[in-house]
Amino acid sequence: MVHQSNSFRVIVQNPQKKSKQEEHNQVAQHSQILMASQEKSDVDRIFKRFDANGDGKISSAELGEALRNLGSASPDEINRMMAEIDTDGDGYISFNEFVEFHNANRGLMKDVAKIF
Ligand SMILES: [Ca+2]
Ligand SMILES: [Ca+2]
């Protein structure tokens, strides 16, 4: 048993055959796979609930409506969230922007997924 765990440690401590960039790519690929298999349906579902008129983007009115369903939403809060999520500033939250927000706020979005 001791011998086994030592070999394991050697493997873990000697990753020098991979470049840092390769490692980074592998981690990124891995998290994309996780995203695809576990969370994509949740993100999809929440986005569609927010996108009340189904045009594929969330307006600030739709965001406000969804946040009211969650309990609290002052116009200030809605504006702040809108500015935070709408990174290209076109006034709408695209699905990609929504996914990015989801990835940056996993804890929050897990709670949202429970409600929606
Ligand atoms: Ca919409
Ligand atoms: Ca946008």
How far apart are the C-alpha atoms of 20 and 24, rounded to whole Å?
6
Residues within 5 Å of ion ligand 2, judged at the Cβ atom: 86, 88, 90, 94
> How much is the pLDDT for 64?
93
Ligand 2 centre to CA of 30 (Å) is 27
Minimum-distance ligand to the CA of 90?
Answer: 2
Ligand 1 centre to CA of 114 (Å) is 22
Under the banding of pLDDT at 50, 70 and 90, the label for residue 96 is: very high
- Reported as a single tens digit per residue, the pLDDT across 6-44 is 665 665 666 556 666 777 676 666 665 555 556 788 899
> How much is the pLDDT for 100?
94
Minimum-distance ligand to the CA of 93?
Answer: 2
Cα-based distances in Å from 11 to 8, 15, 28, 55, 71: 5, 7, 21, 51, 50
Q: Give me the DSSP letters along 49-103.
A: HH-TT-SSEE-HHHHHHHHHHHS---HHHHHHHHHHH-TT-SSSEEHHHHHHHHH
- pTM of the shown model: 0.65
The number of beta carbons lying within 10 Å of the beta carbon of residue 93 is: 26
| pLDDT above 70: residue 54 | yes
Backbone φ, ψ for residue 94 (5° rounding): -80, 170
- Domain ranges, ordered by start, for the chain: 22-115
> How much is the pLDDT for 69?
82
Fold of 22-115: Recoverin; domain 1 (1.10.238)
Minimum-distance ligand to the CA of 87?
Answer: 2
Please say whether the beta carbons of 84 and 105 come within 8 A: no
